Chains A and B, each alone.
Chain A
Amino acid sequence: MKSSVITFPGSNCDRDMDVALNKFGFKNKMVWHNDSELPKSDLVVLPGGFSYGDYLRCGSMASKSKIMKSVISFAKSGGMVMGICNGFQILVETGLVPGVLLRNKYLEFICKNVFVKIEDKNNSYFKNLEKNIFKFHIAHNEGNYFCTKDQLKEIEDNDQIAIYYCNKDGQTEEQFNPNGSIRNIAGILNKEKNVLGMMPHPERMIDLSLSGDDGALFFKNLINNIK
Chain B
Amino acid sequence: MLVNEKIAIEHGLKKDEYKKICDLLKRTPNITELGIFSAMWNEHCSYKSSRLHLKKLPTKGKKVIQGPGENAGVIDIEDGDAIVFKIESHNHPSFIEPYQGAATGVGGIMRDVFTMGARPIANLNSIHFGSPQHKKTKNLLRGVVHGIGGYGNCMGVPTIAGQTSFDSSYNGNILVNAMTLGLVKKNKIFYSKAAGLNKPVIYVGSKTGRDGIHGASMASASFDDKIEEKKPTVQVGDPFTEKLLLEACLELMAGDSIIAIQDMGAAGLTSSSIEMASKGNLGIEINLNKVPCRETRMTPYEIMLSESQERMLIILENGKETIAKKIFDKWNLDFAIIGKTTNSKNIELFFDDEKVANIPVNTLVENSPMYDRKWKKAKIPKKNKIKNEIFNNLKIKDVLKKILSNPNICSKEWIWQQYDHTVMGDTIQKPGGDSGVVRVHGTEKAVAASVDSSAVYCWAHPLTGGKQVVAESWRNLISVGATPIAITNCLNFGSPENEENMGEFVECVEGIGEASKYLNYPVVSGNVSFYNQTKDVGIKPTPSIGGIGLIKNYKNVISMGFKEIDNSVLIIGKTEGHIDQSIFARTILDEKNGPPPEVNLFNEKNNGESLLNLIDKGYIKSAHDISLGGILTALSKMCIKGNKGIKLKRSKNLINEIEFLFAEDQGRYIIEIDPKDFKEVTKILNKNSVHHEEIGVIIEKDMIINKKTKVTIDELKSYNTNWLKNYMSS
> What is the interface of chain A, defined by CB distance below 8 A to chain B?
9-10, 12-13, 15-16, 19-20, 34, 48-50, 52-55, 108-112, 137, 139, 141, 201, 203-204, 206, 209-211
The count of A-to-B residue pairs whose CB atoms sit within 8 angstroms is: 86
B 322-336 binary contact with A (CB < 8 Å = 1; else 0): 000000001110000
Assuming the A-B contacts A139-B153, A210-B427, are A111 and B419 also in contact, with contact meaning beta carbons closer than 8 angstroms in the complex? Answer: yes
Contact of A53 among B239, B416, B417 (CB under 8 A): B239
Q: How far is the CA of A204 from the CA of B420 in the complex (A)?
A: 12
> Which A residue's beta carbon lies closest to that of B555?
A209
Interfacial chain A residues near B240, Cβ < 8 Å? 9-10, 50, 52-55
Inter-subunit contact A9/B418 (CB<8 Å): no
Q: How far is the CA of A109 from the CA of B420 in the complex (A)?
A: 8
Least CB distance from B251 to A in Å reads 12
Least CB distance from A56 to B in Å reads 12
Assuming the A-B contacts A53-B239, A109-B418, A112-B417, are A211 and B423 also in contact, with contact meaning beta carbons closer than 8 angstroms in the complex? Answer: no
Q: How far is the CA of A9 from the CA of B425 in the complex (A)?
A: 20
Q: How far is the CA of A14 from the CA of B369 in the complex (A)?
A: 49
Contact of B155 among A12, A141, A204 (CB under 8 A): A12
> Which A residue's beta carbon lies closest to that of B418?
A109
Inter-subunit contact B422/A137 (CB<8 Å): yes
B:567-604 near A, CB below 8 Å: none
B:145-193 near A, CB below 8 Å: 146, 149-150, 153-156
Interfacial chain A residues near B427, Cβ < 8 Å? 210-211
B 544-559 binary contact with A (CB < 8 Å = 1; else 0): 0000000000110000
Q: How far is the CA of A139 from the CA of B330 in the complex (A)?
A: 28
Interfacial chain B residues near A52, Cβ < 8 Å? 240
Least CB distance from B552 to A in Å reads 14
Size class of the B contact interface (CB-based, 8 Å): 20 to 34
B:407-452 near A, CB below 8 Å: 416-428, 439
B:299-332 near A, CB below 8 Å: 330-332
16 contacts between A and B (CB under 8 A): A9-B331, A10-B243, A12-B156, A34-B330, A50-B239, A53-B238, A109-B149, A109-B150, A109-B419, A110-B418, A111-B153, A141-B153, A204-B422, A210-B428, A210-B554, A211-B427
Q: How far is the CA of A74 from the CA of B624 in the complex (A)?
A: 53
Inter-subunit contact B420/A139 (CB<8 Å): yes
Assuming the A-B contacts A55-B240, A203-B425, are A13 and B149 also in contact, with contact meaning beta carbons closer than 8 angstroms in the complex? Answer: no
Assuming the A-B contacts A9-B244, A50-B243, are A210 and B420 also in contact, with contact meaning beta carbons closer than 8 angstroms in the complex? Answer: no
Assuming the A-B contacts A108-B418, A139-B153, are A16 and B243 also in contact, with contact meaning beta carbons closer than 8 angstroms in the complex? Answer: no
Q: How far is the CA of A211 from the CA of B439 in the complex (A)?
A: 12
Inter-subunit contact A15/B424 (CB<8 Å): yes
Interfacial chain B residues near A112, Cβ < 8 Å? 417
Interfacial chain A residues near B417, Cβ < 8 Å? 108, 110-112
Interfacial chain A residues near B153, Cβ < 8 Å? 50, 109, 111, 139, 141
Inter-subunit contact A204/B154 (CB<8 Å): no
B:235-258 near A, CB below 8 Å: 238-241, 243-244
Least CB distance from A105 to B in Å reads 13
Contact of B422 among A49, A108, A139 (CB under 8 A): A139
Inter-subunit contact A111/B421 (CB<8 Å): yes
Assuming the A-B contacts A111-B418, A137-B422, A210-B426, are A50 and B439 also in contact, with contact meaning beta carbons closer than 8 angstroms in the complex? Answer: no
Inter-subunit contact B243/A139 (CB<8 Å): no
Inter-subunit contact B154/A50 (CB<8 Å): yes
Least CB distance from B15 to A in Å reads 46
